[in-house]
Amino acid sequence: MREQAEKVIIVRYCEIHLKGKNRGYFEQVFMNNLEKSLSGIRHEIRRPSGRYVIENFDSDRTEEICERVRKVFGVHTLSVGTKVDADLEAIWREIQNIAPESGSFKVETNRADKHFPLNSMQINAEIGGRLLSERPSLRVDVHDPDTILHIDIRENGSALVFEGIVKGAGGMPVGTAGKGMLLLSGGIDSPVAGYMIAKRGMKLECVHFHSYPYTNMQAREKVEELARILADYTGGLVLHVVSVTHIQEEIHKNCPAEMMITLLRRFMMRIAERLCADTGAQCIITGESLGQVASQTIEGMTSSNAVIKHVPVLRPLVGFDKTEIIERAREIGTFETSILPYEDCCTVFLPKHPLIRPKLEKIEVAEAALDVQGLLDEAFSSAEHIAIE
């Protein structure tokens, strides 16, 4: 008989089962993403029916593993448990370790090995009965117990015993829904927008625009930190950093002041679309929310969409209130970084009264004063491409 009980982590996935014929593909991507999230940590992942079990790791790293796995999209829930021999006495010893002293409980057994001498109901009754007689302050409640003690009798002669279920990130495995180019500022909104789209299975690349030396290096470091937080969910990403300093200077010199933001947005969109073509990204993603600020009106969006020819622009936050976005930013861990003070390039040369409802024809006339292609080429040649693991 095995002497030591071994720690395991049970991972349940979501939604993947909905995908009919593609199921095998989705599960393969999910498995790869799980493996990638645990790179550098000794472990093995097994796949008994309908879930994934992480085994053979150093128990000191249990929390770290849970923390990483919880962020993998596609993970519905996870539980930390113990693997013991599929033997009633071994199971009972482990149940005594994890059962509470008081309150209500139930035992829930799942028996994949139909040769086990007791059936599920009998195991529930036997283990539950022993607990009740040893711990007088416990009582059984099968409908709404404080604690559920799970026993999984597996087919390979082992059993998993666990209590407690932690919620995972949900969503679809990253890589099953193509790739998008996120316009990542240092603000609160764009990281949340990227998270939401990645959660639907889309791989991300990010582009950040800066106006160095008008904006400082801290702004840049902050964006890299935001990209790193996102990368924990997406299994790495590439951050493209592009200077729009000269573009802003030229707009400032040659165009009406109140058009600065609208014109700059159009340059950002063009650069993003070109990056899409270079990297195979299939859409542009922004953190805009309708009416949130003067430039995020439907007219503003019309004006920036007008320069994009080949890809859709996804704006997952378009119908969200700021308070809802902040709530999500806190949940995903970007908020504290996003609120660090910094200068966005949009705040440089910021007009007192930006155009709220830019008219596309007027914008196009003003833009004709600029060497659009030359400025784009120049910005593009300054681009840096940073791989974030």
Binding residues for ligand ATP (CB under 6 A) = 183-185, 187-190, 207-209, 286-288, 292-293, 295-296, 344-346
CA dist 229 to 30, 155, 345, Å?
A: 20, 39, 22
In this chain, which of 173, 187, 235, 316 binds Mg ion, going by CB under 5 A?
A: 187
Please say which residue, 79 or 185, places its beta carbon nearer to ligand ATP: 185
Stretch that binds Mg ion, among 172-180, 255-263, 340-348, 353-361 (CB under 5 A): 340-348
* Gyration radius (Cα) of the chain, Å: 27
Query: Nearest 10 degrees: CA dihedral of 94, 100, 106, 109?
Result: -20
CA distance 223 to 268: 16
In this chain, which of 37, 82, 176, 185 binds Mg ion, going by CB under 5 A?
A: 185
Strands 6-13 and 52-55: antiparallel
Least distance CB 182 / ligand ATP (angstroms): 7
Least distance CB 295 / ligand ATP (angstroms): 5
Binding-site partner at residue 163 among Mg ion, ligand ATP, none, CB < 5 to 8 Å by type: none
Contact 239, 227 (CB under 8 A): yes
Nearest alpha-carbon partner for 365 in 255, 262, 268: 255
Least distance CB 175 / ligand ATP (angstroms): 22
Please say which residue, 66 or 332, places its beta carbon nearer to ligand ATP: 332
CA dist 132 to 106, 147, 158, 159, 205, Å?
A: 11, 14, 25, 22, 55
Binding-site partner at residue 209 among Mg ion, ligand ATP, none, CB < 5 to 8 Å by type: ligand ATP
Q: Which amino acid appears at position 21 of this protein?
A: K
Least distance CB 211 / ligand ATP (angstroms): 8
Interactions with Mg ion, residue window 344-373 (CB under 5 A): 344
Please say which residue, 82 or 295, places its beta carbon nearer to ligand ATP: 295
The two tokens of residue 135 are 């711990």
Number of H helices, E strands in the chain: 13, 15
The CB-nearest residue to ligand ATP is: 187
Please say which residue, 69 or 181, places its beta carbon nearer to Mg ion: 181
Nearest alpha-carbon partner for 33 in 201, 281, 206: 201
Q: Which amino acid appears at position 237 of this protein?
A: L
Please say which residue, 131 or 196, places its beta carbon nearer to Mg ion: 196
The CB-nearest residue to Mg ion is: 187
Least distance CB 283 / ligand ATP (angstroms): 13
CA distance 385 to 68: 25
Please say which residue, 168 or 186, places its beta carbon nearer to Mg ion: 186
Least distance CB 198 / ligand ATP (angstroms): 14
Please say which residue, 344 or 378, places its beta carbon nearer to Mg ion: 344
CA distance 106 to 313: 50
Binding-site partner at residue 304 among Mg ion, ligand ATP, none, CB < 5 to 8 Å by type: none
Contact 320, 179 (CB under 8 A): no
Q: Which residues in this chain contact Mg ion in the complex, by CB under 5 A?
A: 185, 187, 344
